[in-house]
Amino acid sequence: MQAEEPTRQAASPMPDSPFCPADRIVTRPTDHDWVRRAATRLEQDRRRSADTHLVRLDLPGFDGIPIYLKDESTHPTGSLKHRLARSLFLYGISNGDIGPATTVVEASSGSTAVSEAYFARLLGLRFVAVMPRSTSRAKVDAIAQYGGKCHFVDSADAVYAEAAKLAEETGGFYLDQFTNAARATDWRGNNNIAESIFRQMQGEADPVPEWIVMSAGTGGTSATIGRYIRYKDLRSSLCVVDPENSVFFDGWKDKRRDLTAKQSSRIEGIGRPRVEPSFIPGVIDAMIRVPDDASVAAMQVLSAHLFRKVGPSTGTNFFGVLCMASEMKRQGRKGSIVTLLCDSGERYLDTYYDPGWLRSCGIEIGPWAARIERLVETGIG
Ligand SMILES: *Cc1c(COP(=O)(O)O)cnc(C)c1O
């Protein structure tokens, strides 16, 4: 990053003193000027952004059960990963792991790498994303546009080792979202997503949602929401929805962290082949396994009701919302449900919105779409 302000004199190298002879002292001084400029740039970027919208959806079949979608697609880099990327860079800089010459490396299924490439460029750092070859074209293009490099591997479970290896070889730093998402985000507040949701709900008739429904990629967002609910003593329950080929569901049900899967999730952004360190089981009140066909069908039904396209993980979220809404209706309960609109469907026009692509993946949405549409209209599944 070029110098833009007068630089403060760096601490002088340690002198050779009688108390501390040169052979007993090692120094590795911090570039405080760079750290300050980097932190300032991140803060300026945050100030230029407004909070994301909370969109209210009243479905005909669910009178008295309003649904709210926290619209994370409106961040500058198009997904909820904008928050995570900012936090990971701040965390790395504050830990002394990222400096002016650091090559930053990440393992990602796409969205995180897009946001990180944006922040790397903002800070003038080199960035390499290690991603499965199946990652959508639009994301690969976005990373390249921000000046990031894409490094492809064949399967989702190969990204971790490859990213660590690349960081090692380049003397760079592996951001490691799957480990650090739950550490880098300030779960007590500081305008995190949970605090923002509850603040935006304050004027509603049912300000404390019965359920918050979220899918898990790193698990970081569900961790933030679940911790915040406890920390603030809020009477909301957290439901995590999980797609096929992901081990979060079985890992949570059987209280095991050692499960692994060979196949990759077919719902981009969520579902993992291992129980990620950022997945915090203790804050979750319920989990639902959602069939992939149902996720994609729900994505399309929701898009029609919102008059705009949402991504597939938002479909998984919406399916979970409908499960909880229909159960509340059956029990005669009223109250709100909140979920996330994780990213826009515009990124998936040639994949999840392309009938030919869906056929080639063996995803069949017809029967589910009809069932979901009926549920939305009548409240009866
Ligand atoms: C990462 C991601 C999620 C899941 O969020 P986490 O906080 O990582 O669990 C959901 N949808 C999309 C599109 C994502 O990129």
Token match 């750092």: residue? 125
Which residue's alpha carbon is at the smallest distance from atom 15 of ligand 1? 269
Ligand 1 lined by 339 (C-beta under 6 Å): no
Ligand 1 lined by 269 (C-beta under 6 Å): yes
**Beta sheet of 103-107, edge-to-edge order:** 149-153, 126-132, 103-107, 173-174
CB distance 250 to 271 below 8 Å? no
For position 2, what pLDDT does the model report?
47
Ligand 1 lined by 172 (C-beta under 6 Å): no
* Average pLDDT of span 19-27: 87
Ligand 1 lined by 81 (C-beta under 6 Å): yes
Using the predicted structure, report yes or no on whether residue 11 has a pLDDT greater than 60: no
Residue 7 φ then ψ, to 5°: -90, 140
Ligand 1 lined by 79 (C-beta under 6 Å): yes
Spatial separation of the C-alpha atoms in residues 212 and 204, rounded to whole Å: 15
CA of 346 to the centre of ligand 1 (A): 16
pLDDT, tens digit, 9 for 90 and up, residues 281-303: 999 999 999 999 999 999 999 99
End-to-end CA distance of the chain: 57
Spatial separation of the C-alpha atoms in residues 32 and 29, rounded to whole Å: 9
**Average pLDDT for the chain:** 94
Ligand 1 lined by 111 (C-beta under 6 Å): yes
Spatial separation of the C-alpha atoms in residues 301 and 293, rounded to whole Å: 12
Pocket residue to mutate for ligand 1, from 185, 270, 343, most atoms within 8 A of Cβ: 270
Residue 297 φ then ψ, to 5°: -65, -45
Ligand 1 lined by 343 (C-beta under 6 Å): yes
Pocket residue to mutate for ligand 1, from 71, 75, 77, 81, most atoms within 8 A of Cβ: 81
Give the atom of ligand 1 at the shortest distance from the alpha carbon of 110.
15
Length of the chain equals 381
Q: What DSSP state is assigned to residue 63?
A: T
pLDDT, tens digit, 9 for 90 and up, residues 61-78: 999 999 999 999 999 999
Cα 238 to the center of its chain, rounded Å: 16
CA of 363 to the centre of ligand 1 (A): 21
CA of 99 to the centre of ligand 1 (A): 27
CB distance 34 to 1 below 8 Å? yes
Please, which pLDDT band fits residue 16 given cuts at 50, 70 and 90?
confident
pTM of the model: 0.94
CB distance 71 to 52 below 8 Å? yes
Spatial separation of the C-alpha atoms in residues 206 and 199, rounded to whole Å: 12
Which residue's alpha carbon is at the smallest distance from atom 12 of ligand 1? 269
For position 109, what pLDDT does the model report?
77
Q: Computed over its alpha carbons, how large is the radius of gyration of the chain?
A: 22
Spatial separation of the C-alpha atoms in residues 57 and 232, rounded to whole Å: 26
Spatial separation of the C-alpha atoms in residues 354 and 111, rounded to whole Å: 20
CA of 174 to the centre of ligand 1 (A): 19
Report helix, strand or coil for 346: helix
Ligand 1 lined by 246 (C-beta under 6 Å): no
Half-sphere exposure at residue 140, Cβ-oriented, CA atoms within 13 angstroms: 11
Ligand 1 lined by 280 (C-beta under 6 Å): no
Q: Is 340 left (phi over 0), alpha (psi -120 to 50) or beta?
A: beta
pLDDT, tens digit, 9 for 90 and up, residues 236-295: 999 999 999 999 999 999 999 999 999 989 999 999 999 999 999 999 999 999 999 999
CA of 332 to the centre of ligand 1 (A): 32
Give the atom of ligand 1 at the shortest distance from the alpha carbon of 111.
15
Which residue's alpha carbon is at the smallest distance from atom 5 of ligand 1? 217
pLDDT, tens digit, 9 for 90 and up, residues 154-212: 988 899 999 999 999 999 999 999 999 999 999 999 989 999 999 999 999 999 999 99
Residue type, 317: N
Q: What percent of the chain has pLDDT over 70?
A: 96
- Sequential DSSP letters for 246-260: -SHHHHHHTT-S--B
Pocket residue to mutate for ligand 1, from 111, 213, 241, most atoms within 8 A of Cβ: 111
CA of 197 to the centre of ligand 1 (A): 17
